[in-house]
Structures are given as C-alpha cells and as structure tokens.
Amino acid sequence: MRIVLISGISGSGKSVALNVLEDAGYYCVDNLPPSLLIDLVNTLEWEGVNQAAMAIDSRSAHLLTIVPAAIERLRQLGHEVKVLFLTAGSETLIARFSETRRSHPLSHHLQQQQLSSLPLSLTECIQKERELLAPVQFLGHVIDTSHLSANVLRTWIKNEIDVEQAALILMFESFAFKVGVPLDVDFVFDVRILPNPHYDPQLRAQTGLDAPVINFLEAQAAVHELILDVRQFIEKWLPAFKRDNRSYLTIGVGCTGGQHRSVYVVEKLAQHFQQTERVLIRHRQTHPQTQAKIA
C-alpha cells in the first residue's frame, strides 16, 4: 500500500495537503492517533485500499514517540511510506489565525489534558506545538509554506506524491532573500554577488526562465564560475547524504527578488544533475505555473 503521513504546525496547510490527496484518490483520515496507525493500515489493506493518507497532529503528542517505530514496521511489511511535515514562520501562522479568527487547536486541548491551568496565547501555542511535534519533524520531507499560496502548495503536494520514494530526491529551490530564507532547505547559496538583470529596464519584468535574461547571465564569467563551484560541492557531498538514507536533499539558491539570478542558477544546476539523479525544481517567487516541476 502507498501511505502518506502528514504532520506539521497548525495553520501550515495540513488540511490543504490532505484535500489534495483525497482528490487524488487516497483514503484520508484526519487527526489519527498514532497508536491506531498499523491497525488502520491492516484494515484498509484487507478492504482492498491501495493508497491512504493520514494526518497526525500535536493533539496526539503523548503518542508521537511511537511514530518512528510504526513507520519502520509498515515498511518492513512491504508498504511504501512517505512522510510530509508542513511548517511556517511564526509571524505567518499568527497572520493566518488572525485572518480566519480561529483559535489554535492547543489553546483548549492542553487545558483538557490538564497540562495548563489557563488558555495559552497564540504565540505560546505555536511554540508549544513546535516542541510537541519534534519527534516527527525530521522523519520525512519538511515543506515551509510561509510564503506559499494555497494553489501553489497544492501544486507542490501533487508533485510530492508523484515522486518515487526509492531514491534520494535532489531538490533545487530558488527564493528571495527579501522575503526570507525558506525553513525547509538543507544548504543555502547566495547568488546576490552576481550581476543583476533587475537594473536593465528591458529585463526587469522577466525571469531567469526567459531567453533575454538567460543570455544576459550566460555572458557573465562569474555566473559560470559560481555554478561550477556549487555543482562541485554538491557532487562531493551527495554520496554521503545517500549513505545516510536521506529521502530529500534541498538546495536553496537565493537572490534579492527571487526572480532572475536564483531562478537561472537553479535551472542550470537541475539541468546538470537530472542526468543522474531524481530532481525536483521549485521557484518560490516566480509565476505559479513555474513554482514546481519535476526534472
């Protein structure tokens, strides 16, 4: 059976992810107690279900320590298990809760469990939830949704579930430093030192995917030199990450606006590595149609 486990911080998009999987034909269960995970999978397998998604959140915090063993057991039984952990910056989460005017799930849950005598503030709930979810945060791939719209997140989730689990996925992600470094990157490379097409009025509205911008950057010797250095660094250390049984290695490439230089560099790196690796490309600040694609 193909199984997707979703966890993460409240307000980071778990419901969006679960809805995408349900639309893709997955049998979905929200807020599943971890102690029921193996029994549920056995039941669904007996009923002929071949793909299922379960969301596990902080309200089952006292049981989260058993999740790693449960995942390992499911894999021993022959199931394909993918784990997605969604997160976002605290400022983004506070803004989202303010927009929806909903209370944080932990605000009253901790009182009911007698872990707090008074309701916690939203900021306190977010911090407490990060602590409670620590046992599952790095079991799979972490996705930072801080600056993603719901539509872009849906696209990313669709790409995630289509990627095979067997081999390490090398992910290249462009972003804008003015927005902030994504929380889900393993390595960050700063390409703001390269000549900036933004200062050419004819190139300003274009991106690193457009031919005029590509021609501008390819004419710069420093661009080729930097790409070669980054490529050699990844080639040197990629085997070590594979030996560590990592499912994903995410390389963040940032420039000021996330539109020209970082996009171009990501595309060039992906073009090189897709000859031998499974590669996923993401552009955070460009048009939604170019936000995620598999190379």
pLDDT of residue 227: 97
Quick check: 108 pLDDT over 90? Answer: no
Under a CB-based contact definition with an 8 Å cutoff, are residues 217 and 195 in contact?
A: yes
Most confident of 10-24, 141-155, 252-266: 252-266
Beta strands in the chain, from DSSP E residues, in sequence order? 2-8, 27-29, 51-55, 80-87, 141-144, 169-176, 187-190, 248-255, 278-283, 292-294
Name the DSSP class of 260: S
**Residue 64 pLDDT class (50, 70, 90 cuts):** confident
pLDDT of residue 292: 47
**Residue 119 pLDDT class (50, 70, 90 cuts):** low
Domain 2-162 has CATH 3.40.50.300: yes
Burial class (CB in 10 A: 0-12, 13-18, 19+), 183: middle
Indicate the domain borders of the chain.
2-162, 169-294
**Residue 238 pLDDT class (50, 70, 90 cuts):** very high
Distances (CA, A) of 274 to 191, 249, 266: 21, 14, 12
Note the pLDDT tens digit of each residue in 35-61. 899 999 999 999 999 999 999 888 776
Percent of the chain with pLDDT over 90: 56
pLDDT of residue 245: 67
- CA 42 – CA 74 distance, rounded (Å): 10
- Tokens representing 142 are 């972490």
Percent of the chain with pLDDT over 70: 91
pLDDT of residue 120: 73
Which position has the higher pLDDT, 251 or 163? 251
Count of other CB atoms within 10 angstroms of residue 164? 9
Among 130-134, 187-191, 243-247, the range scoring the smallest mean pLDDT is: 243-247
The three-state secondary structure class of 243 is: helix
Count of other CB atoms within 10 angstroms of residue 155? 18
Which position has the higher pLDDT, 224 or 128? 224
pLDDT of residue 288: 45
Among 75-79, 179-183, 289-293, the range scoring the smallest mean pLDDT is: 289-293
pLDDT of residue 163: 56
- CA 104 – CA 41 distance, rounded (Å): 29
Q: 210-219: string of b/e by CB count within 10 Å (b at 16+)? A: beebbebbee
Looking up tokens 């007996």 gives 46
Count of other CB atoms within 10 angstroms of residue 286? 20
Q: Rounded to the nearest 5 degrees, what angle is found at the Cα of 272, between the Cα atoms of 269 and 276?
A: 125
**Residue 29 pLDDT class (50, 70, 90 cuts):** very high
Averaged over 117-138, what is the pLDDT?
82
- CA 85 – CA 74 distance, rounded (Å): 18
Residue 161's Cβ-side half-sphere holds a number of Cα atoms within 13 Å equal to 23
Distances (CA, A) of 172 to 98, 124, 140, 189, 266: 32, 33, 17, 11, 6
Average pLDDT, rounded, for the chain: 87
Strand 80-87 to 292-294 pairing: unpaired
- CA 192 – CA 171 distance, rounded (Å): 20
Averaged over 225-234, what is the pLDDT?
97
Sign of the CA dihedral running 263, 269, 271, 277: negative
